[in-house]
Every structure is written in structure tokens, then in C-alpha cells.
């Protein structure tokens, strides 16, 4: 009788061992996001996200896609111009796929391209911001105003007018010898070509204040508004 009980006890203990064939439970699941267009980027803000230990088919572990219906578009994707698709779709600023330089003028008709909605433009060089029919002619070796001529009626230096009061300062200027306006400004990210102006003579004493320039009315504001070297004299 004692022998039977001993054997039974051993059998019961053997049954308590770990079953190696059983699957392990997932204690730390990850969040996965749907990738409908198959570009390896998940759709952020998607209601269809799921949690699992491994990515289900059609899901990825990131949410870097701002357009999950277009496989060439995702956050910070390289832009392909003139194809009608906004690849870098997380850039929500003013964007026109047919205005590469952002000067407000669309490119002229491109061979082999379908006319976009809204039509073609009049920009003779859509890679340079300072070249379009509305631009003055600068002495930079470019046909800035798209009239087929280069640097006509434009000589000497042109100076920056940052506050757009019609008067420039001498700290930023360019000429043919210094390269084009874009070459000077864009690499350092300094010039705001969409809003700044340039003039042929530096006459401004304060280019950060549009109310300060030669012969301006002197105001009681702590500035030398009329650029005579005095502050608030005879101010009103």
C-alpha cells in the first residue's frame, strides 16, 4: 500500500512540470498602426491601431504617415515637383506643386506634363525665388523679370530693405560679382525673399523699424525716426 502511494505521488508531481510546447503569454505588447499604402509608415491618429507582441500583417510600429493612401508621401518625404502629389505632406504651409521656389508664380508649361488644375504659370525659372515676371531686374547675372534680357537697366549694388519702408541699409548687398540673390540669402536662411525688398542705395539708419528712415516724422518712441542722429527731438 505504501509503495502504491509513493508511485502515485511521483506521478502527480511529474504532471506539475512546465509544458514546453505551450505558447508563452505576451506581457508587454506594443502598439502598431495601420499601413494601408504599404510604404512602411503607419497612419497617425488612426482608430485602427492595435496592441500586440508582434506586428500583425498590414501594421507597422511607427506613425510617420500623413497620407496613408499615397505610398510616396509621408512625414518629411522628399518632394517630387510637378507630379501633383504632396510627398512631404506634414508641411502644412502654403504649398503648390507647380511653384517650386515659392515665389507665387507657377512654372511655365512643361513638356510631357499634364496641365495642372488652375493652369500653368509664367515663371521662367521655377528654381530661383528672385526670378519671375513680377521681380525687378537685379545685377545678378539672371533674367529676374523673365523678359528675355539679363541685368538690363541694373548696375552697381542692391541693398536689403528688411522693414520694407523704402530705404535700405548697407549690411546686406549683392551684385553680379557676389552671385545671385538666392545664392547669398538662402544658404544661411537669412533673407526672407517673399517679403523683403532691395534698393540701389543704403539710406536707412534702422532697418528693423519701418517708421525710421531719412526725413520721416519724429515720433515720441525712443527712436531716431528721421535718421538725423537725434532721438525724439520735436516729437509729437
pLDDT in tens, the chain (236 residues): 444 444 444 444 444 444 443 445 678 899 999 999 999 999 877 678 889 999 999 999 999 999 999 999 999 999 999 999 999 988 877 789 999 998 999 999 999 999 999 999 999 999 988 899 988 887 777 898 999 998 887 666 778 788 888 888 877 676 655 566 666 665 445 566 556 677 777 888 998 889 999 989 999 999 999 999 999 888 76
Residues 144 and 183: beta-carbon distance below 8 Å: no
pLDDT tens-digit series, residues 79-121 = 999 999 999 988 877 789 999 998 999 999 999 999 999 999 9
Residue 3 sits at φ, ψ, to 5 deg, of -65, -40
Residues 154 and 138: beta-carbon distance below 8 Å: yes
Separation between Cα atoms, residue 43 and residue 119, nearest integer Å: 32
**Which string of DSSP letters, residue by residue, matches 2-37?**
HHHHHHHHHHHHHTTS--TTSPPP-SSPEEEEE-TT
Separation between Cα atoms, residue 182 and residue 140, nearest integer Å: 10
Contacts of 112 (CB under 8 A, 6+ apart): none
**Residue with cell string 532721438:** 231
Separation between Cα atoms, residue 130 and residue 102, nearest integer Å: 10
Separation between Cα atoms, residue 50 and residue 69, nearest integer Å: 19
User: What's the pLDDT at 8?
Assistant: 42
The sign one gets for the Cα dihedral 220, 224, 230, 234 is negative
Residues 109 and 115: beta-carbon distance below 8 Å: yes
Separation between Cα atoms, residue 191 and residue 207, nearest integer Å: 13
pLDDT tens-digit series, residues 147-156 = 999 888 766 6
**Residue with cell string 512631404:** 88
**Where along the chain do its domains lie?**
27-95
Amino acid at each position: 500500500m505504501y509503495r502504491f502511494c509513493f508511485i502515485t505521488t511521483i506521478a502527480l508531481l511529474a504532471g506539475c512540470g512546465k509544458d514546453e510546447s505551450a505558447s508563452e503569454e505576451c506581457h508587454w505588447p506594443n502598439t502598431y498602426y495601420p499601413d494601408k499604402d504599404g510604404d512602411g509608415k503607419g497612419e497617425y491618429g488612426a482608430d485602427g491601431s492595435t496592441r500586440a507582441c508582434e506586428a500583425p500583417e498590414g501594421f507597422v510600429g511607427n506613425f510617420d504617415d500623413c497620407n496613408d493612401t499615397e505610398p510616396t508621401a509621408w512625414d518629411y518625404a522628399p518632394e517630387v515637383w510637378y507630379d501633383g502629389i504632396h510627398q512631404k505632406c506634414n508641411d502644412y504651409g502654403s504649398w503648390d506643386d507647380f511653384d517650386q521656389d515659392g515665389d507665387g508664380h507657377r512654372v511655365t508649361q512643361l513638356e510631357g506634363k499634364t496641365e495642372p488644375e488652375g493652369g500653368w504659370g509664367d515663371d521662367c525659372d521655377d528654381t530661383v525665388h528672385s526670378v519671375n515676371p513680377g521681380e525687378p531686374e537685379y545685377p545678378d547675372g539672371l533674367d529676374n523679370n523673365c523678359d528675355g534680357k539679363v541685368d538690363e537697366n541694373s548696375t552697381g549694388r542692391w541693398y536689403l530693405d528688411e522693414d520694407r519702408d523704402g530705404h535700405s541699409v548697407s549690411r546686406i548687398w549683392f551684385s553680379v560679382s557676389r552671385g545671385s540673390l538666392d545664392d547669398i540669402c538662402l544658404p544661411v536662411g537669412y533673407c526672407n525673399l517673399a517679403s523683403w525688398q532691395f534698393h540701389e542705395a543704403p539710406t536707412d539708419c534702422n532697418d528693423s523699424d519701418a517708421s525710421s528712415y531719412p526725413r520721416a516724422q519724429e515720433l515720441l518712441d525712443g527712436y531716431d525716426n528721421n535718421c538725423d542722429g537725434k532721438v525724439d527731438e520735436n516729437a509729437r
